[in-house]
Amino acid sequence: SAIEGLKKQHLGPVVFSNSQHNVLIITTVVLLVLFMIQRFGTGVIGKSFGPVMILWFGFLAVFGIVNLINYPMILKAISPYYAIKILFSPVNKVGIFILGSIFLATTGAEALYSDMGHVGKKNIYVTWPLVYSTLFLNYLGQGAWIIRHAGDTAYRHLSNLNPFYEMLPGPWRLVGILLATLAAIIASQALITGSYTLVDEAIGLKFLPRMVIRHPSNIKNQIYIATVNWMLCIITISVVWFFGSSQKMEAAYGLAITITMLMTTVLLHEFLKKHLAKGTALIIALFFGFIELIFLISSLVKFIHGGYVTLTIMLGILYIMWLWYFGNKRRDHYEKESEYVSLLDYRDQLSKLSADNTVPLFTTNLVYMTKIKGDYQIKRSTMYSILDRQPKRAKVYWFVTVNETNAPYESNYTVDLLET
């Protein structure tokens, strides 16, 4: 949507055409570069996020106010009276489904919970009033511009009018395109980083298969999963070319956001049940859920216009998680019966092997990175590796289990000397 602003723009000697094909090529290049730099970590890039976003939101506020001044009557839109009036007006032929056309104005709120996990609630509390007010002023400015230019012959037959870019005076349009592109990249970066974190948590909960997780910096949340990165890259670019324009992509995006909001409310209810009375938790969840359900119903009409893409991707991911989770359940059940043995049962045998000078010394310290369960349960294959056929004699046998915690900078260890 940001790159689409380049259509018909003059950048020095370069003149951009009105071709959507060129927009797709530039967008693809930007996305490829974005995904290619992920392996280096986002610590350095992240330092520029704050200043860029302050510029972006300041830009939104200034030009919102500039256009708002030209038609101050737009401030009446603050009153919910007019929204309710148009919703039930005979002029409104689509009824409640009209809410689907304005739902994207609420997007971003659904990401607050995931952002809070990365940047902390204090940062959200401080920045949200700025973000909300600047967006509010810009939307009012766009509304004022539309009302003032509704009768212009130049816009009468345009179906893909972008009021944000149109309301910017000549030389400022390229600045707006640049800032919008940078803001879109930063928003995309937040989603990519969030995807790594979600996959990391899903792997820990055995909802997804294990993947190689790299830490490009010394910050816990700064992780890089190559498999996720390139899968996201392929799917993102495929979606961009499949839809061809941001206008056609709105249906899929809107449906995704409404489902995300509903899922957040379900999780919120589960959380509140542990901290409040069940009745109070239910009332809070129903309050938010009712509003989100209305938006979901209004967005369902977009299903055939692209919402099915969202549902297809969601069901694909859900199927993989379902398959892996219950597959692990079956495997664990099988392994508990036949694949695990008690290390205590083999303690004497290991001691005798270590003291048996007739067997060649394999190594002084033999270390096995393996999961030791309750009651010293260890995989049978680990013991067979030491004792079967060619016994591996060592002075000391180490069975090391590593447990990763969420506590920052934590590094504790315990040693259990089984021989004593």
In this structure, which long-range contacts are made by residues 354-358, counting pairs with CB atoms below 8 Å and at least 24 apart in sequence?
354/393, 354/394, 354/395, 354/396, 354/397, 356/393
- The full 3-state SS of 367-392, as one line of letters, equals EEECCCEHHHEEEHHHHHHHHCCCCC
For 119-159, write each residue's pLDDT tens digit. 777 888 888 888 889 999 999 999 999 999 888 877 777 66
pLDDT at 241: 92
pLDDT at 94: 79
Neighbours of 140 (CB within 10 A): 20
**pLDDT score recorded for residue 420:** 53
- What was the pLDDT predicted at 41? 74
The pair of structure tokens assigned to 149 is: 């230019």
Which regions of the chain are under pLDDT 50?
Answer: none
Tell me what pLDDT residue 45 has: 65
Angle between helices 246-273 and 278-300 (to 10 degrees): 170
